[in-house]
């Protein structure tokens, strides 16, 4: 009698049941303009979030954009019809505030807009913005959305790092999807300049870091392996999902087409590819 072929053991991702979802914003739920002031909602986004809410399935939105405080960002999304409560909206600064608080950081120099430092201020961290005449010691430098960054900003940040401050970065992603196509990530460029000058290692707190995945899993009330990570970028959401044992779901409405997804190495490839978030309803 011929022996039966052994079945392959299911992968970690295929064994895990998705109990909560994280949605990327730009290129997944919406396409915004370069300034982030206006949005076009992508197909299926409103219907999908509404259905999840009605079914009691937890979800959060985590963007790598740090320009606005989460409550302001959530209000904008509700304004275009997306059911996102303040507590469901997260930015890298949400993650950073928790990381810095746990590490006992008390004083931070922020290279970014006031929105970048908002979450830090909410947990009692002293936050200073450049340009600033105060040249005292800092525990950390935090880089976020800063389109007006100039040489004085970079010089002050370098001096803070040379004085012992650790370098934290909201996002180390060179581009994100917008209505105008690829848009440069400011924190990526700023961090490159700071690292060239100081040689300091950058501690990334936004996607694809495991700090971010652990934070959002806690907010969802599930294990990291039970999170469905929905996004458009192989270098961001899919790396985060693969490294953390979550399930990566790639959409084709942002930076990557189906053909481009299929060309990715395993470390950047989704476990599942869908055309847009609306297809989650049919799963």
pLDDT digits (tens, 9 = 90+) for 80-89: 999 999 999 9
Distance, CA of 256 to chain centre: 17
pLDDT at 187 over 90: no
Q: Is 281 helix (H, G, I), strand (E, B) or coil?
A: helix
Mean pLDDT value across residues 242-269: 96
Compute the radius of gyration of the chain from its Cα atoms.
20
Cβ contact 128:107 at 8 Å: yes
Strand partners, 168: 142, 203
Strand partners, 167: 141, 202
Whether the bond between 131 and the residue before it is cis, its omega within 30 degrees of 0, is yes
Answer whether residue 177 shows pLDDT above 70: no
pLDDT over 60 at 3, yes or no: no
Task: Work out the average pLDDT over 107-133.
Answer: 92
C-alpha to C-alpha distance for 180 and 182, rounded to whole angstroms: 7
| CA–CA dist 132, 126 (Å, integer) | 14
What DSSP letter does each residue of 226-261 carry, written as one string?
A: GEEEEES-IIIIIHHHHHHT-EEEEESSSS--HHHH
- Label the pairing between strands 39-41 and 30-32: antiparallel
**Rounded Cα gap, residues 55 and 100, in angstroms:** 35
Residue among 51, 187, 49 nearest 111 (CA): 187
Per the listing, tokens 């990381």 go with 99
Six-digit token pair at 187? 């924190």
pLDDT for 37? 63
Give the pLDDT score at 134: 66
Measured at the alpha carbon of residue 174, what is the angle toward residues 242 and 256, in degrees to the nearest 5? 55
- The token pair at 35 is 């300034």
* Predicted structure pTM score: 0.88
Tell me, rounded to whole angstroms, the distance of Cα 205 from its chain centroid: 8
């Amino acid at each position: 009698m011929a022996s039966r072929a052994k079945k392959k053991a299911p992968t970690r991702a295929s064994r895990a049941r998705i109990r909560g979802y994280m949605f990327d914003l730009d290129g997944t739920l919406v396409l915004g303009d370069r300034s982030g002031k206006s949005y076009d909602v992508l197909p299926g986004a409103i219907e999908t979030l509404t259905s999840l809410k009605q079914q009691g399935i937890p979800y959060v939105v985590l963007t790598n954009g740090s320009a606005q405080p989460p409550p302001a960002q959530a209000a904008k999304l509700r304004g275009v019809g997306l059911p996102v409560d303040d507590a469901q909206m997260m930015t890298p600064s949400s993650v950073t505030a928790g990381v810095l608080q746990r590490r006992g950081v008390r004083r931070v120099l922020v290279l970014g807009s006031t929105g970048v430092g908002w979450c830090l201020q909410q947990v009692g961290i002293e936050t200073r913005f450049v340009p600033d005449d105060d040249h005292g010691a800092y525990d950390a430098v935090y880089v976020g959305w800063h389109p007006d960054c100039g040489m004085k900003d970079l010089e002050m940040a370098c001096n803070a790092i040379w004085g012992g401050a650790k370098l934290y970065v909201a996002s180390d992603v060179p581009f994100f999807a917008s209505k105008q196509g690829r848009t440069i990530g400011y924190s990526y460029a700023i961090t490159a300049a700071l690292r060239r000058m100081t040689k300091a290692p950058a501690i990334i707190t936004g996607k694809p870091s495991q700090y971010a995945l652990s934070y959002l899993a806690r907010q969802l009330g599930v294990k990291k392996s039970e999170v469905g990570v929905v996004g458009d970028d192989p270098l961001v959401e899919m790396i985060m999902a693969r490294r953390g044992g979550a399930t990566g779901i790639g959409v084709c409405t942002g930076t990557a087409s189906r053909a481009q997804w299929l060309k990715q190495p395993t470390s950047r490839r989704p476990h599942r590819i869908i055309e847009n978030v609306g297809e989650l309803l049919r799963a």
